[in-house]
Amino acid sequence: MKIVLASGNAGKLRELAGLLAPQGVAVLPQAAFGIETPPETGTTFRDNALLKARHVARLTGLPALADDSGIEVDALQGRPGVYSARYAGEGASDEANLRKLLAELDGVPQAERGARYQCVIALVRSPEDPDPLLATGTWEGQIERAPRGSGGFGYDPVFLPCGSTRTAAELDPVEKNAVSHRGQALRALSTRAGELFARSASTATRGGRLFVLAAPSGAGKTSLVRALLERKPGLSLSISHTTRSRRPTELEGREYYFVTVEQFEQMVAQRRFLEHAQVFGNYYGTARDPVELQLAAGRDVVLEIDWQGARQVRAALPQCQSIFVLPPSREALEQRLRGRGTDSAEVIARRLREAVGDMAHWDEFDTVVINDDFERAVEDLVHIVEGRDHPWAASRPQLAPLLARLLA
């Protein structure tokens, strides 16, 4: 089974991966999907763990694991608590947080330096999972006067567990996982999650189906896909990366992952794209790992891309089903492009010219849907995704008159 860790903390990833590996669970970092941690606005460890897990599950379509943990110091009335990772300010390093803690405890006798690590782990199967799996762990100890050890992370160099002569940073990872707050919480969660892991493994053997949907600019594919997802909530939309500017109505991770040209080219060099292309002067691409992982987990996935990307996907994953959307006429295409209100007249003219070239590739696709009546076109897509017998084959002769007008 594969799950995504809702954290950018490399140390936390190492610990959780080590704890779950014996159960056959692979923990993937959220960075592999281009996801950043959302603001931790919760007032408790539980709130923050659920917030982060649901955020990552929503963006990846995979089960997500998140923990929120921190250290509570008796002499500081329980601080830093939920603010442990940013005690010295937003983006503060472990070293900066540790320095602030020691400065606030300066002069406090050793007998009054009691502390404990707290951890809450949340595992959600979907973004709106009504019954998330939750587990907690507590690790008692005290705060030393000076850091010792190079292992662990966070406050480990100054945390001396009860009954130990070594700080958490001096413990071997295996020793630490056996007694730590995170280890306790994860073992408790794993006991309850056994059924979930087994069920997911069974689902994964079936594998998901991949649907590749393309269309000329202005044919309405984005609106169609949005309506399709509303009617088929089990279908996951793969979010592409792009170098174009974000429009005012768009959100990072919802319409696209917005990256720089340099970042995009680096991903190309690392072969991280299933497909990529340059369209209207901007780069667009579908990251390989999120798609393949969702398919392996048994989820059906839809890609909303252009014909160039569809060609690359068919070459890499020939079992995919490809769908091309045509407008009912050139006039309708122009009307839709102008109705967006987002492009200049020059850009619209260029899109119309290039749309003819795009539509010339209709015969590379398995099925063709005509977006004349929006509701009917959505129903056509629903039937295709459901695998019903349908009359939408790209080779059907009824398309000939329309194509003659569109490509003239």
**To which H or E segment does residue 277 belong?**
strand 273-279
Whole-angstrom distance, CA of residue 144 vs CA of residue 185: 25
Whole-angstrom distance, CA of residue 236 vs CA of residue 60: 8
pLDDT for 202 equals: 47
pLDDT for 297 equals: 74
Whole-angstrom distance, CA of residue 137 vs CA of residue 190: 13
Whole-angstrom distance, CA of residue 94 vs CA of residue 352: 54
pLDDT for 233 equals: 85
For residue range 255-310, list pLDDT tens digits in order: 888 999 999 999 898 888 999 988 778 999 998 888 887 887 788 999 998 888 89
Query: Domain 210-407 belongs to what architecture?
Result: 3-Layer(aba) Sandwich (3.40)
Whole-angstrom distance, CA of residue 64 vs CA of residue 309: 28
pLDDT for 340 equals: 64
pLDDT for 191 equals: 67
User: Are the C-beta atoms of residues 68 and 82 closer than 8 Å to each other?
Assistant: yes
Tell how strand 210-214 and strand 321-326 pair up: parallel
Q: Which residues of the chain have pLDDT under 50?
A: 199-205
CATH topology classification for 2-203:
Maf protein (3.90.950)
Q: Retrieve residue 203's tokens.
A: 């689902």
- Nearest Cα neighbor of 323 from 392, 386, 241, 389 is 392
Whole-angstrom distance, CA of residue 323 vs CA of residue 333: 18
> Environment class of residue 78 by beta-carbon count within 10 Å: exposed (0-12), middle (13-18) or buried (19+)?
middle
Q: pTM to 2 decimals?
A: 0.52
As annotated, the residues of the chain forming the CATH 3.90.950.10 domain(s) are 2-203
